[in-house]
Structure 1
Amino acid sequence: MIGAGVFGAFGPAAGAAGSELLGALGLAAVVAYCNATSSARLAARHPESGGTYVYGRERLGPFWGYLAGWSFVAGKTASCAAMALTVGHYAWPGQARATAVAAVVALTTVNCLGVRKAAWLTRLIVAVTLAVLAACVVAGLGGGHAHASRLAWDGAGVSPRGFLQAAGLLFFAFAGYARIATLGEEVRDPARTIPRAIPLALAVTLGVYAAVAGTLLAVLGPDALAHSAAPLADAVRAGGAPGLVPVARAGAAVAALGSLLALLLGVSRTALAMARDRHLPHALAALSGAGGAPLRAELAVGALATVLAATTDLRGAIGFSSFGVLLYYAVANASALRLSPAERRPPLPVPLVGLAGCATLALSLPPASVLAGLAATATGAALYPLRRATPR
């Protein structure tokens, strides 16, 4: 979760919500909490690779599982391209696309070497990212330009749709806990580990994001934040520490690499589950190596992400991905409603709020993103009868 979103999402969100940015962050966190709780309870009951694709199939029927998997694979493959392009724009702006392609190829190779190596690399990237964020927060607050008055809410000019759109954009920065669930077959004691890991990860992430958002608002103010392409770098500069600006840029690139690593890993596992049911080419279901990694699925996702990174626009990729991930979690919440009390169903308001929140935030995204997402969903639904799973 602590990836490129924290470096790039707050500017566009401030443009939509203004001084109500922290409120929008809170709303995004509430929806994320509901999704995380539903996902954790479902993952404990269904510790298989595939996440909501499996939950929807088992709890709602094959079509809904398929639709969740389709949304996840399509949206998150686009997100892989977005994260790779973020790496390129921060690390080598003059050769952004070439750098993006190189990042996808390198991290696909890491994933193919085994999940244990990928997990260690993820920990290293998260540690570096947290250190950079901490340095930026300290520099921003310690430079004498932070004013608590800029944190005060001022709803003038902020529409309800703008507030919801900001929450939808910030939700994109939270998305990531599904990776724990999609790796269900590779987690030790999943019934105990997953329900503890997801809420803990969400709580830590919310704390980090609140500290960063508060710092950006206090240092830059909502207007300057809304017009900043690199808000953390601008906050560090305003705080009187221009020497940390390259560190902030490097941190953003490292964070985007961490997001890309996790995305490639999670998307390939959902593709594996769909291929097992023949909703994707069955060849992708083959496992290789001592750890039983889905090598073909990893290579296929990496290849598609490479093509997208070389040809697509960053903003379009992020918007499309946001719609897809919200639809994915809507199916997760609907699936959680089908759990029985004996299966430790979440309190009823949790999946209900999560389902309504996902639908509302998805439809509040920029119109182009909504239309593209609806078109992709309709395409997947139309293909379902043609690619229906054959008997095992």
Structure 2
Amino acid sequence: MGQAATTAAEPGLRRRLGVFDAVVIGLGSMIGAGIFAALAPAAAAAGSGLLLGLGVAAVVAYCNATSSARLAARYPQSGGTYVYGRERLGDFWGYLAGWGFVVGKTASCAAMALTVGAYAWPGQAHAVAVGAVVALTAVNYAGVQKAAWLSRTIVAVVLAVLAAVVAACLGSGAADTGRLGAGPGAGLGGVLQAAGLLFFAFAGYARIATLGEEVRDPARTIPRAVPIALAITLVVYAAVAVAALSVLGAAGLGHAADPLAQAVRAAGVPGLAPVVRAGAAVAAAGSLLALILGVSRTTLAMARDRHLPHALAAVHPRFRVPHRAELAVGAVVAVLAGFADLRGAIGFSSFGVLAYYAVANASAWTLSPAEGRPPRLVPALGLAGCVLLAFSLPAGSIAAGAAVLAAGVAAYGIRRAVANRS
């Protein structure tokens, strides 16, 4: 009751987003991150099993999306699984989900900022990354409607570029569908590791759920927007992966620093490479825009419950956005973008976000049929898949992710102990 009263007494966010805008924000996150950042390391892990890894990631993502959509319809508040875990499983599990999301997605923000820099100006990647974070934080600060409009423009540009890549690769004389399953495979472990890395790319639908307080008619809009965004992304991922494999093969794709630019060059269309590089920078910028949006909303929800500094719960009186949370997230991401490693950030992010979705599936399991519970198999498969993929990631990512989650648990325990003494 205390938590609800606190939330109700504070100014709410403005409900402006419909199905189309919610879908576009999800697409901007997923397509930007997946194609240009996760495809090459996933190919390096899985070899000829890349498409199988993509399929595994898609199944887990579908389960997570379904569980998240049902929960978001029942709890249309900013915070996503932080709220669901708190309401369905207890305060600790909500906190753990929120901590995993904020930490993991902050790493994702840094990865996307570095992707912008690597494609836009490779020699000054870190400086460009910091500049991108500052600029896009300012866009989010001005209001979610402006962010949705910019996301819509970015998604249109990126889809056009990816369509050109697919057409160039599959229509060239260099295309060879025999390469799709050719070459050495990495076994089950490699396929699962690739699925875990590709999961980084599918997690964009979380941005839809974390915007629960800014979506019109959330009980109807969120369950519609999540599967639509996921289905479109699946089709795009599969088409681009097949096109790139057909001209580069699994080994070439796995070693490529800029895989889609190399793919069009291998397809005999080198003039398209600069367009692809520009599209990659735009895609990563779109993903970064939506990521900052989602992390700031979870930060807002955790600050409302005082798991993070309560000052971050403030909502701007004019723009009706969590402006302090957005500025804090932007500042942290800007610092990370100045020093972080791109591929390491992807694995670290995946571990934290898989922990977040494990809590989402456990929360969905507790829903009753009257509350819109999905078939039992969905949250069960989603929970098992999240745990399996998390511990199939590279050892360094597992160690770093587990250490940061443990630090969060310790902080929670200390805070509770201090509160009990007082």
Counterpart check, 1:379 vs 2:392:
no
Partners of 1:66 and 1:279 within 8 A in 2:
yes
Structure 2 matches for 1:242-391, cutoff 5 A?
242-388=270-416
Aligned partner of 2:254 among 226, 232, 248:
226
Aligned partner of 1:75 among 77, 86, 104:
104
Partners of 1:83 and 1:256 within 8 A in 2:
yes
CA apart distance, 1:160: 1.2
TM-score by length of 2: 0.90
Q: Structure 2 regions of 5+ residues with no counterpart? A: 1-29
Counterpart check, 1:4 vs 2:54:
no
Give me the CA root mean square deviation.
1.4
The match for 1:25 is 54
The match for 2:190 is 162
Q: 2: distance between equivalents of 1:97 and 1:349?
A: 44
Partners of 1:84 and 1:101 within 8 A in 2:
yes
Q: Would you say how many aligned residue pairs link Structure 1 and Structure 2?
A: 390
The match for 1:43 is 72
CA apart distance, 1:291: 4.5
Aligned partner of 1:240 among 257, 268, 287:
268
Q: 2: distance between equivalents of 1:51 and 1:267?
A: 10
Structure 1 residues 208 and 77: alpha-carbon distance in aligned structure 2, compared to 1, 3 A threshold = same
CA apart distance, 1:331: 0.5
Q: 2: distance between equivalents of 1:314 and 1:12?
A: 11
CA apart distance, 1:158: 2.0
Aligned partner of 1:105 among 126, 129, 134:
134
Q: 2: distance between equivalents of 1:363 and 1:153?
A: 27
Q: 2: distance between equivalents of 1:157 and 1:99?
A: 37
Structure 1 residues 390 and 135: alpha-carbon distance in aligned structure 2, compared to 1, 3 A threshold = farther
Q: 2: distance between equivalents of 1:209 and 1:157?
A: 20
Partners of 2:126 and 2:337 within 8 A in 1:
yes
CA apart distance, 1:228: 1.3
Structure 1 residues 235 and 157: alpha-carbon distance in aligned structure 2, compared to 1, 3 A threshold = closer
Counterpart check, 1:198 vs 2:221:
no
SS class of match (1:330) = helix
Partners of 2:158 and 2:283 within 8 A in 1:
yes
The match for 2:12 is none
Q: 1: distance between equivalents of 2:315 and 2:261?
A: 43
Q: 2: distance between equivalents of 1:286 and 1:303?
A: 17
CA apart distance, 1:289: 2.8
Q: Structure 1 regions of 5+ residues with no counterpart? A: none
CA apart distance, 1:153: 6.2
Note the alpha carbon deviations across 1:159-214, whole angstroms, 9 max, x for none: 21111001111111111100001010000000000001000100000000000011
Partners of 1:278 and 1:387 within 8 A in 2:
no
TM-score by length of 1: 0.97
Partners of 1:8 and 1:231 within 8 A in 2:
no
What letter corresponds to residue 45 of structure 1 in structure 2?
A: R
Q: 1: distance between equivalents of 2:175 and 2:41?
A: 21
The match for 2:88 is 59
CA apart distance, 1:390: 7.2
What letter corresponds to residue 40 of structure 2 in structure 1?
A: G
Note the alpha carbon deviations across 1:28-82, whole angstroms, 9 max, x for none: 0000000000000000000000000000000000000000000111111111111
Superposition misfits of 4+ residues, deviation over 4 angstroms: 388-391
Partners of 2:182 and 2:249 within 8 A in 1:
no
Q: 2: distance between equivalents of 1:179 and 1:97?
A: 25
Q: 2: distance between equivalents of 1:196 and 1:153?
A: 38
The match for 1:184 is 212
Q: 2: distance between equivalents of 1:111 and 1:14?
A: 34
Note the alpha carbon deviations across 1:328-370, whole angstroms, 9 max, x for none: 0000000000100111100000000000000000000000000
Partners of 2:38 and 2:346 within 8 A in 1:
no
The match for 2:239 is 211
What letter corresponds to residue 236 of structure 1 in structure 2?
A: V
Aligned partner of 2:145 among 82, 106, 116:
116
Structure 1 residues 141 and 187: alpha-carbon distance in aligned structure 2, compared to 1, 3 A threshold = same
Partners of 1:4 and 1:252 within 8 A in 2:
no
Partners of 1:277 and 1:390 within 8 A in 2:
no
Q: 1: distance between equivalents of 2:220 and 2:38?
A: 33
Partners of 1:56 and 1:65 within 8 A in 2:
yes
Q: 2: distance between equivalents of 1:390 and 1:42?
A: 30
Q: 2: distance between equivalents of 1:123 and 1:93?
A: 26
Counterpart check, 1:93 vs 2:122:
yes
CA apart distance, 1:315: 2.1
CA apart distance, 1:292: 2.1
Q: 1: distance between equivalents of 2:363 and 2:199?
A: 20
